[in-house]
Amino acid sequence: MKITLEDPTLFAKSIDLVSELVLEVKMKVNEFGLSIVAIDPANVSMVALRVPKSSFKEFEADEETLGVNLENLRKVLRRCGKSGELTLEKNQNMLDIRIEGRAKKSFSLSLMDVQGEEKEFPSHLEYASKVDISSEEFIESVEDCAVVGDACSFITQEDKFIVESKEMNSARTEFSIDLAKIEGANSKSRYTIEYLHKFLKAGKSFERTVINFANDHPIRFDFNSEVLSLSFLLAPRIETDD
């Protein structure tokens, strides 16, 4: 296996984001490209990173599944800088990494045996509401909620998308159809801000955030570019009476 990205900047940032949820993954490389699908240790969230074959400058690979420590890979990818090609090559039980810019850098990471079945990002979930919104403005609305609480609700109603937190104090941001593309039925669901913070760091690299959710239902975030796609799934926060 030998694959090369001409501009690895977004790939490096995406690996950094995935590593905040899970540290050991199975990285699949096949005729379609490179992909990672993983569930966080608390079984609360799920992530999928996909880099299509067309994004690579060089792609020589059969079906491969590589056990990778993302903490180590993240540290290496941070050495890419703002320019330079990235090549990943499997060499027996090692992953050789080359970064070629003004200087040539080489690293080797041990591949590992990652336990557990290979995961598939769910495609069967049905959502009542879909919102396409500016990542920057959406991040701001969640940050507002973080000032007053540890969870926030997403609401679609009457051509509005609302992000709010109501505890002892409250915060609320309302987006009209002029600011967000809103589709589907009225919905409301609540999610933990700790996880939202991790997901929404992706918004700093992607202009738009696509959100799918339903009443008390897992929420899905999609970030897409010509180079790769990054998706997150988060279970709702259900309040119970004592």
Confidence (pLDDT) at 143: 97
DSSP string, 197-229: HHHHGGGGT-SEEEEEE-TT--EEEEEE-SS-E
Domain boundaries, the chain: 2-110, 129-234
Q: What is the pLDDT of residues 75-124, one digit of tens each?
A: 999 887 666 799 999 999 999 999 998 889 999 999 998 877 778 898 78
Q: Is the pLDDT of residue 241 over 60?
A: no
Q: Is the pLDDT of residue 217 over 50?
A: yes
Q: What is the pLDDT of residues 135-180, one digit of tens each?
A: 999 999 999 999 999 999 999 998 999 999 998 999 999 999 999 9
CATH architecture of the domain with residue range 129-234: Roll (3.10)
CATH 3.40.1010.10 fits 2-110, yes or no: no
C-beta of residue 10 within 8 angstroms of C-beta of residue 18: no
Whether 129-234 and 2-110 are alike in CATH topology: the answer is: yes
Q: Distance between CA 22 and CA 20 in Å, rounded?
A: 6
For the entire predicted model, the pTM comes to 0.93
Q: Is the pLDDT of residue 242 over 80?
A: no
Q: Distance between CA 16 and CA 4 in Å, rounded?
A: 19
Confidence (pLDDT) at 6: 93
Q: What is the pLDDT of residues 19-60, one digit of tens each?
A: 999 999 999 999 999 999 999 999 999 999 999 999 999 999
Q: Is the pLDDT of residue 240 over 60?
A: no
Residue at token pair 């919102």: 131
User: What is the sign of the dihedral through the CA atoms of 140, 144, 145 and 147?
Assistant: positive
Confidence (pLDDT) at 71: 94
